[in-house]
Amino acid sequence: MICLFAESNLMKQLFFLTDNSYVGLILRIAAGAIMLPHGAQKMLGLYGGYGYSATMQYLTQTMGLPKLISFLVIMIEFAGAICLIAGFATRLWAIAFIAVMLGAIITTAYSNGLFMNWTGSQKGEGFEYHLLMIAICIGLILTGSGKFGVDSLLQS
C-alpha cells in the first residue's frame, strides 16, 4: 500500500509539479495557441481543415499510419492544445507534442530541409517549425505549467 502511494505521489509530481513563474505560462500559452488551430483543422474542419473523418482517412490511407497513431495525433493536437492552454498535465502533453513533432519531421518535413516554404519553391514545408515546438516543449517539461495553470491547483 505504501509503495502504491509512493508511486502515485511520484507520478503526481512528474506530471503536475510546477513552479510559479511566468516562463511556464508564456511557453504553454504559446504552444497551445500555435497547436490549437492545427488540431481544430484535424478535429473540426476549421481554418481550412478537413475534419476528423477526412483527416483519419488521409493519415491512415495516404500516410499509411496505424489508426491508433492517427487518432492520437488528432487528439494530441486538439485536446492537448486545450490542456496546455489551461495548464493541465503540462509535462505529459509536452512529451506528447514532442512525439508528434518528431513523427512529422520523420514522415514529411525532413526531406524538405530545414526552412519553411515561404516562397512556394519547395516541394513542401521544412522542419524549423517542428524544432521550435520541440524546444518550447522541452522548456515546459523543465518548468511545468507556471502561473495560473490547473497543475498548480493539483499540487497540494
Whole-number pLDDT of residue 51 = 96
Are the C-beta atoms of residues 6 and 133 closer than 8 Å to each other? Answer: no
Q: pLDDT (tens digit, 9 = 90+) per residue, 131-152?
A: 999 999 999 999 999 999 988 8
Note the helical H segments in 45-110: 51-57, 67-75, 81-86, 90-104
Grid coordinates 490542456 are at which residue? Answer: 83
Q: How far apart are CA 15 and CA 89, in angstroms?
A: 5
Annotate 110-135 with b (16+ C-beta within 10 A) or e (fewer).
eebeeeeeeeeeeeebbbebbeebbe
Q: How far apart are CA 132 and CA 111, in angstroms?
A: 18
* Side-chain-facing half-sphere of 141: CA atoms under 13 Å: 13
Low-confidence residues of the chain: pLDDT under 70: 1-8, 10-14, 110, 113-114, 117, 120, 122, 126, 156
Whole-number pLDDT of residue 156 = 58
Whole-number pLDDT of residue 127 = 78
| CB-based contacts of 103, cutoff 8 Å, min separation 6 | 69, 73
pTM: predicted TM-score of the whole model, two decimal places:
0.86
Element (H, E) at 28: helix 22-44
**Percent of the chain scoring above 90 in pLDDT:** 67
